[in-house]
Amino acid sequence: MKKVLAKITWFFGKLFGRRKYTSVDQEIRRKTVVSLSVFIILLFSGYKALMWLFDQPEDAAGVEKHLRKGLETNEKIFTKIFDDGHLVKTFPKSEAAQKVRVNGEIGLGSDFDYKNWVLNIKRVSGETLLVPLSEILALPKTEIIYDFKCVEGWSQVSHWAGVKFSDFVEKYNLHEEVKMGYVGLETPDKKYYVGIDTPSMMHPQTLLCYEMNNNYLPLIQGYPLRLIIPVKYGIKNLKRIGNVVFSNEKPHDYWAENGYDYYSGL
């Protein structure tokens, strides 16, 4: 045993040891032997690992079990990121701001006749659906407290309530309409307008919102009706909705026209 150990030590000593008087040739040879050994070991382990992988049972699609696991993990991660059904984080009411920040007043002119306001919806048939506030208030109410984010860099936990857009679609039979790719919303004076992909409109946290902190919206925050769409940045949360249209082309969008991302998703 001792002899064997001595031999091994001698061998590695020869291989790796730095002797004082090695010539340049010997030094080059030593380095070549070391790199070649490392290369062969790596090649061999790679080959072994590949063989092991090929030896594993395959599933119906002919995909090996361990690879399939990897695929499934990727799928889980990506559906989590891209699935429009994922929910935005919500907060307890105690965390909602009492003084809610006001930002952006485009399309909120003071000549607004709020007493005669009705929501104006263009059906695909060309007909117009007019919905007064009283009807919207009679629909099931959904509340949300979440972190409202503006692209300008601020965010604030705020408390809103209204009817889910998806409930509204159900109630007014807008099923044909939501087969279209986009929903366009405008202020009554058409000065502020947004285009939103229909899946985001149909997201369970998207509201046609009429309340903030348990009161009607202040005029400056969109009374009588605004969009609250937590999967999007503030710019898409149009205040004072007047008109709604559906289309397969992207509806015009105020901030997209000014260089911001059309999608503006979070």
Ligand X SMILES: Nc1nc2c(c(=O)[nH]1)N[C@H]1C(S)=C(S)[C@@H](COP(=O)(O)O)O[C@H]1N2
Binding site for Mo ion (CB under 5 A): 150, 234-235
CB atoms within 10 A of CB 204: 17
Angstrom distances, CA of residue 262 to CA of 23, 86, 237, 255, 265: 69, 20, 13, 8, 9
If one asks whether residue 192 binds ligand X (CB under 6 A), the answer comes out as yes
If one asks whether residue 76 binds ligand X (CB under 6 A), the answer comes out as no
Token pair recorded at residue 138: 């009679």
If one asks whether residue 104 binds ligand X (CB under 6 A), the answer comes out as yes
If one asks whether residue 106 binds ligand X (CB under 6 A), the answer comes out as yes
If one asks whether residue 264 binds ligand X (CB under 6 A), the answer comes out as no
**The binder of ligand X chosen from 27, 58, 75, 105 (CB under 6 A):** 105
Q: By rule CB under 6 A, what string of x and - marks binding of each residue 217-236 to ligand X?
A: ----x------------xx-
Total residues binding ligand X (CB under 6 A): 18
What is the H or E stretch that residue 37 is in?
A: helix 24-55
Residues, the chain: 266
If one asks whether residue 150 binds ligand X (CB under 6 A), the answer comes out as yes
If one asks whether residue 129 binds ligand X (CB under 6 A), the answer comes out as no
If one asks whether residue 206 binds ligand X (CB under 6 A), the answer comes out as no
Instruction: State how far the Cα of 214 lies from the Cα of 210, in Å rounded to an integer.
Output: 9
If one asks whether residue 142 binds ligand X (CB under 6 A), the answer comes out as no
**Are 27 and 34 within 8 A, CB to CB?**
no
How crowded is the C-beta side of 193, counted as CA atoms within 13 Å? 17
Q: Contact positions toward ligand X, by CB under 6 A?
A: 101-108, 150, 187, 192, 221, 234-235, 237-240
